Structure 1
Amino acid sequence: MTIENNKRIAKNTLFLYMRMFLVMGVSLFTVRIILNALGVIDYGIYNVVGGITILFSFLSNTMAHASQRFFAYELGCNNRQKLVLLFKANMTIYAIISLIVIALTETVGLWFLNEKMQIPVDRMLAAQWVYQFSIFAFIFSMFATPYKAVILAREKMSLFAYISIVEVFAKLLVAYLMIIISGDKLKAYAVFQFLVISGISITYILICRKKYKECRFAFTWNKQYISEICTYTSWSFYGHASMSLRSQGVNILLNLFFGPVVNTARGIAFQINAAITNFYMNFFQAVKPQIIKLYAQKNFHELFLLIYRSSRFCYYLMLIVSVPLLLETHYILKLWLGNVPEYVVTFTRITIITTLVDSITPALGACADATGKIRLYQLFVGTIIIMNIPLSWFVLYLGYPPEAAMYVILFISIVTLFVKLYLLKTMIGLSFELYFHEVLKKIGFVTFIAILLPVCCLFFTNEGFPRFCLVTVISICWVSISVLEFGLTDRERQLIIFNLKSKIIK
């Protein structure tokens, strides 16, 4: 069974990485086009105004998390009848959430946009276009979420990858249209983004309705299952709200203190971060259903081994791409964007380091979700994450520069890691000592070894394309060697070497 699960994880990871490289390449390519088409001010407006809508996305994110957890759990128990009923209950809740989102965004959100945001007067009408079409796009994507959850719970990553590839080419078409059209490009970009998101959402719905019997929506009020889902999501809601506040709340604070130019810098930094985050999240998407199913089967020995392994592997995958990016941030941004806006280099570096810390924890969160008993977990973790907002406001109020808010996020991420470990020790008996030995100690030593040689390369040549190529090649190779030699168990190393040899011989 373990061999079969490992093969499934490997196959699904392959599909997700094929998707990732295409998505990442197109996404990074289009950022420069969109930035040049919109300009620094309009790009910042789109980033922060769309962020008001995203601030409410914790509602759908909470349900997405819950949907995948419940679907994967019932698939692990082979309870297909309950799966059908749970899907209908989920869709009923999503319909209610959509009404809540519309009510909040068209009242509180609209007031905040018009009265509090720092937006040039002559761009306020365009900002309102962005806001309204962002709401429309959000509603469409929210209704597609349970259908995506079914695909992920069934571990059909190839289907997920193919739809994502279509989405990527649609966004590439949008970038081309932004070059050739005239008129108000910010308004046009908002409309195009809505068309892409709504089209992809409808695609998910139609395909899942055709392929999977449980994907049939009928408005039903099943009190038992709706109560079960709501009990679980009530605390998960708090956790996802805190993450949304961390991201978009800090973005809004930066706008209030410094204006849309700083939002542009943050937006670019997060575009880069979103692209490279896929290096570990694609692997984790393939692992997550297995964590939930192993817990459902009460196979704790295999569960703990998978947590240790996936925590390390997520970090290593992130480390491989992070080292060259951190060392050559300025040159990469100059090569990519031409003119590098102020604060982008610093924001990018701090954000990447924060994501390195965060990459250790997805398996811990998935394991907590699998238990279904997440009240204390979400209460403690969510409260700590929410502290980003008052602490960021405080340091900015004292007159510190914009990057101070990013350092606050990094500090909170480190604290959150250790809080999650303590909570899982009390919830499922996860040993902190074993986790430290199997994960933290190994990744710490690998990181120290991995950065030595690439850092030395910086001192022998001046910034430019030759040094960029040298640092990139040496970083990737040396980090990979460091991981292989110092970051794996003997069994993991033997399996990787065996697989590599079999591929070469083939």
Structure 2
Amino acid sequence: MQTSSANNRRIAKNTLLLYFRTLLIMAITLYTSRVILNALGVEDYGIYNVVGGVVAMFSLLSGSLSNAISRFITFELGRGDIKRLGVIFSTSVNIQLGLSLLIMVLGAAVGGWFLNTQMNIPADRMTAANWVLYCSLLMFCVNLVSIPYNACIIAHERMVAFAYVSILEASLKLLICYLIVVSPFDKLISYAILLVVVALIIRFVYGFYCGRHFEECRYRPIYDRSLLKQMGSFAGWQFLSNGCWLFNTQGVNILINMFFGVALNAARGVATQVDGAIQQFVNNFMTAVNPQITKDYAAGRIKEMFTLVCRGAKFSYFLLMLFAIPVMLETEYVLALWLKTVPDHTVIFLRLTIVGSMLNMLGGTGLTACMATGNIKRYSIWISSVGVLVFPLTWIAFEFGLPVESTYIVFIMVYIGVNVVKLYIMKGLLHFPPVLFVRKVVVPMLIVTPVAVILPLIVANSFEQSFLRLCLTVIVSLISSSTTIFLIGLTGGERKAVVKKAADFRNKFVR
């Protein structure tokens, strides 16, 4: 009980630290996005998003190994084997260095061919688009080498360092905004180069911190054939899942470019950025919870892991809902207030993107639990087979002349199916009872959501669009959602824990 209580306190502390970071980063991100959009223009902004999507396609190679690295580091930390942890870290760095070289070569060859022969880019911007491609490749590889260091920080649950480095990164990107506005050179090329500089700075900061604080983060040129085989097997099956997600995001982005042009890529880019800012609040919670799920499995605390999987899924949905309701009700006004120029279709893109994110968020803790086992063959095959349907169904929809919004409807329908399949895979892999998830997560979600939206919907429909209505909608939404979540969405034990935390927080500051 003491261990569980300590884990809960640590998760709560780490979540609060990450939320502090997110509030600052969100403000900076929303501001910088507006400045960059206006400085580059809709066309160049769309070019950056779609060319960046070409580079992100190479995450199919890197993402699977990155997940393997995070899983193995967290698992060994849960077992307390520091010597083995050092071997895993050095092996991970070796893998990422080799992969970076491979991606640079493939990216320059395959990405360059695709950009210059297949994509819908204005002829007078092809030079700038090529600069974006090569800078994006370099930035991608720099970030790739940082992954073992990031994984160690998260596995050790040192969220203070993680928060500070992220704040530094956001501040540097704020500086980029100023430099882009005053730059006498091509603004798109300047933007791509400056982002590479930021990536290099952050990479060295992560390396310096980890080298000083974590014993295992001392790189040695180790070759462990057995470990490479284990990681390779794990990564091989992750390759399928990452490929599925890649086609559903960047692949669809390219389809939109081919059928509708760069203007709608700009709209999708704006919608994705706002959704990403909102999701940061949930991702902070998940970043704090996920290491504990893996450690519980490694230590044989299966019952505690099941509880954390359900609680994490439910809380992540409710946290996202707190922000989703006011944003979805006031999307048009928020975008107009934020941006001087709102690309066409951005409003509907953002609303549908948030709905899709809320559905996808439900399966996050389940994925972590499955990855903790290291045996993910069946999981990867089934989830990939269902999830990848988004790409071909979107292609078919566009070929039949359906509007661009149809891709979001396809995503939502497919991922409802993915979540159902995921539960039954967890049942076979972990003996996790799907009924437990339905009772603890799905039922509260289905009851809380419609009840919470009633009052803010009335407010939004009772006043003319204005800043006053926005403020009222946000306030009423937060009160309505928080009250409904507390009274209906939480169990008796969870309500008592929330009340106790609130009392402790108040007493700390009253004194």
Query: For the superposition of Structure 1 and Structure 2, which TM-score range results when normalised by the shorter chain?
Result: over 0.9
- Structure-1 residue corresponding to 2:408: 406
Structure 1 residue identity aligned to 2:12: A
- Structure-1 residue corresponding to 2:188: 186
Q: Which of residues 300, 318, 321 in structure 2 aligns to 1:319?
A: 321
- Of stretches 269-278 and 403-412 in structure 1, the one that deviates more from structure 2 is 403-412
Post-superposition Cα deviations, 1:222-278, rounded to whole Å, max 9, x if no partner, equal 101111111111101211121122110000000000110000000000000110111
Structure 2 residue identity aligned to 1:492: E
Q: Which of residues 411, 416, 419 in structure 2 aligns to 1:417?
A: 419
- Of stretches 236-245 and 221-230 in structure 1, the one that deviates more from structure 2 is 236-245
* Cα distance between partner residues in 2 of 1:373 and 1:469: 49
Q: Which of residues 380, 390, 398 in structure 2 aligns to 1:396?
A: 398
Q: Within 5 A, what are the aligned runs for 1:22-421?
A: 22-421=24-423
**Alpha-carbon distance, 1:76 to partner:** 0.8
- Structure-1 residue corresponding to 2:438: 436
3-state SS, counterpart of residue 401 of structure 1: coil
Aligned residues: 506
Structure 2 residue identity aligned to 1:38: L
* Cα distance between partner residues in 1 of 2:392 and 2:452: 36
3-state SS, counterpart of residue 59 of structure 1: helix
Question: Contact 2:32–2:174 (CA<8 Å) still a contact in 1?
Answer: yes
Post-superposition Cα deviations, 1:24-71, rounded to whole Å, max 9, x if no partner, equal 110011111000000000000001001111111233222222111111
* Cα distance between partner residues in 1 of 2:275 and 2:59: 19
- Structure-1 residue corresponding to 2:9: 7
Question: Contact 2:38–2:340 (CA<8 Å) still a contact in 1?
Answer: no
**Alpha-carbon distance, 1:459 to partner:** 2.2
Question: Contact 2:104–2:138 (CA<8 Å) still a contact in 1?
Answer: no
Any stretches of 5+ residues in structure 1 without a counterpart?
none
Structure 2 residue identity aligned to 1:278: Q
**Alpha-carbon distance, 1:87 to partner:** 1.1
Post-superposition Cα deviations, 1:336-370, rounded to whole Å, max 9, x if no partner, equal 11222101001000000101111111100000000
* Cα distance between partner residues in 2 of 1:153 and 1:111: 39
* Cα distance between partner residues in 2 of 1:120 and 1:219: 47
- Structure-2 residue corresponding to 1:494: 496
**Alpha-carbon distance, 1:121 to partner:** 0.2
* Cα distance between partner residues in 1 of 2:57 and 2:408: 18
Q: Which of residues 472, 475, 484 in structure 2 aligns to 1:473?
A: 475
Post-superposition Cα deviations, 1:276-295, rounded to whole Å, max 9, x if no partner, equal 11111100100001000101
* Cα distance between partner residues in 2 of 1:279 and 1:354: 16
**Alpha-carbon distance, 1:299 to partner:** 1.0
**Alpha-carbon distance, 1:11 to partner:** 1.1
3-state SS, counterpart of residue 10 of structure 2: helix
**Alpha-carbon distance, 1:221 to partner:** 2.0
3-state SS, counterpart of residue 450 of structure 1: helix
* Cα distance between partner residues in 2 of 1:219 and 1:391: 46
Post-superposition Cα deviations, 1:181-208, rounded to whole Å, max 9, x if no partner, equal 1231001000111111121112111221
Question: Contact 2:87–2:222 (CA<8 Å) still a contact in 1?
Answer: no
**Alpha-carbon distance, 1:416 to partner:** 0.8
Question: Contact 2:111–2:133 (CA<8 Å) still a contact in 1?
Answer: no
* Cα distance between partner residues in 2 of 1:360 and 1:167: 29
- Structure-1 residue corresponding to 2:447: 445
* Cα distance between partner residues in 2 of 1:412 and 1:177: 42
* Cα distance between partner residues in 2 of 1:42 and 1:53: 17
Structure 1 residue identity aligned to 2:437: Y
Any stretches of 5+ residues in structure 2 without a counterpart?
none
Structure 2 residue identity aligned to 1:174: I
Identical amino acids, percent of aligned pairs:
37
Structure 1 residue identity aligned to 2:69: S
Structure 1 residue identity aligned to 2:492: D
Question: Contact 2:310–2:440 (CA<8 Å) still a contact in 1?
Answer: yes
Post-superposition Cα deviations, 1:57-111, rounded to whole Å, max 9, x if no partner, equal 2332222221111111111111111101111211221122112212221111111
3-state SS, counterpart of residue 333 of structure 1: helix
* Cα distance between partner residues in 2 of 1:324 and 1:415: 27
* Cα distance between partner residues in 2 of 1:466 and 1:86: 55
Structure 2 residue identity aligned to 1:312: K
Post-superposition Cα deviations, 1:169-192, rounded to whole Å, max 9, x if no partner, equal 000000111111123100100011
* Cα distance between partner residues in 2 of 1:403 and 1:422: 30
How big is the alpha-carbon RMSD for the aligned residues of Structure 1 and Structure 2?
1.0
Structure 1 residue identity aligned to 2:18: L
Question: Contact 2:57–2:250 (CA<8 Å) still a contact in 1?
Answer: yes
Structure 2 residue identity aligned to 1:306: L
Structure 1 residue identity aligned to 2:323: V
* Cα distance between partner residues in 2 of 1:374 and 1:121: 45
3-state SS, counterpart of residue 401 of structure 2: coil
* Cα distance between partner residues in 2 of 1:135 and 1:434: 44
Question: Contact 2:120–2:261 (CA<8 Å) still a contact in 1?
Answer: yes
* Cα distance between partner residues in 2 of 1:102 and 1:498: 52
3-state SS, counterpart of residue 459 of structure 1: helix
Structure 2 residue identity aligned to 1:2: S
* Cα distance between partner residues in 2 of 1:459 and 1:19: 34
**Alpha-carbon distance, 1:414 to partner:** 1.2
Post-superposition Cα deviations, 1:411-457, rounded to whole Å, max 9, x if no partner, equal 11211111111100111111111111111001110001111111111
* Cα distance between partner residues in 1 of 2:201 and 2:445: 41
3-state SS, counterpart of residue 462 of structure 2: coil
